[in-house]
Amino acid sequence: MLVALGQFSFHVVDVHVDSDLIPIVISTQQLHADWRQGETLGVYDPPYHPRVLASPSRFLGYRDLLTFALNPFSGNDLGGLAKAPTVATEIPLYTAFDAAGLYVIWEHSDNVRAALLQNDGGLALEIDVARGDTPGIGIRPGGPGVLYVQDGKLHLSELGGLTLLCADGGFCNEVILDRNPTGPMALAYDEGTDNWFVVAGTQVAVVARGGMGAVVKQAEALDSLNDAPNRVDVAVSDGTAAIMQAAKHGNSALTFMGCF
């Protein structure tokens, strides 16, 4: 796992988890000084908190209150994170966003917008993919899945990788949770079980396919922190989910869930 930590300056930590589920820090890298945030800029609140991606290897987020940027780096060498960030001028200032793989997704007026993010900061295939807000994104074979809130309900769509339109035979604007989901969103796909793992604030859900569309197999409340998280992430592999939560005052929690 690659985890981004920090208050006014950020570090990326390469963490391996052993067979006893004990996290072991392998290496760390402080980011370039351009990523340093001031005390009043709300670094623990979306949309400022950055994302670190393992495939492709890059770090991205709001370099400051106004400027979205990214740093590509080698998958086995965090040194590229020490270089000055590349500005992505087409991502608007101050907007909620998420990213996975090559894709970035963000709020755009009353819509959710998606695109391929190039390492030079440019966008390709930019398109509105839904009406809504609070986006989350995950990758499945064939393209991304997109999570968003529309009319107070949590929705999931599976998009084609080259069109960013609803994929044939996939979920399209399926309602996942209808009890006014709040908080940050995260989404991951488990290829072995063909399930989506959804995190919405402190709510988690496992979504499978049924004859009439999406089926919520499990739905649980996850209250690992004293304060509600304002940053979440999830990774899934072989039927086990790792959920990362971070709260405003720096508390964080890593939770493993299995057998879903």
Percent of the chain with pLDDT over 90: 51
pLDDT at 44: 46
CA distances from 173 to 125, 130, 152, 167, 185 (A): 20, 8, 13, 11, 16
Band the pLDDT of 252: cuts 50, 70, 90.
Answer: confident
Place of tokens 């740093």: 71
Which of 52-61, 74-83, 158-167, 248-257 reaches the highest mean pLDDT?
158-167
What is the radius of gyration, based on Cα positions, of the chain? 17
Digit-coded pLDDT (tens) for 165-177? 999 989 999 999 8
Residue 243 CA: distances (Å) to CA of 43, 51, 200, 215, 229:
20, 15, 11, 21, 12
Span 47-65, pLDDT tens digits: 567 888 888 999 999 887 7
How far out from the chain centre does Cα 96 lie?
A: 11
Mean pLDDT of the chain: 88
**For residue 178, what pLDDT is reported?**
83
Confidence of residue 123 (pLDDT cuts 50, 70, 90): very high
* 194: alpha, beta or left? (left if phi > 0; alpha if psi -120 to 50): left
For residues 19-45, one letter each, b for 16 or more C-beta atoms within 10 angstroms of the residue's C-beta and e for the rest, the string is eeeeeeeeeebebbeebbbeeeebbbe
What's the CA gap between 50 and 59, in Å, rounded? 7
| Contacts of residue 22, Cβ cutoff 8 Å, sequence gap at least 6 | none
CATH of domain 129-260: 2.130.10.10
Indicate the pTM of the whole model.
0.88
Distances (CA, A) of 168 to 123, 164, 246, 250: 24, 12, 36, 42
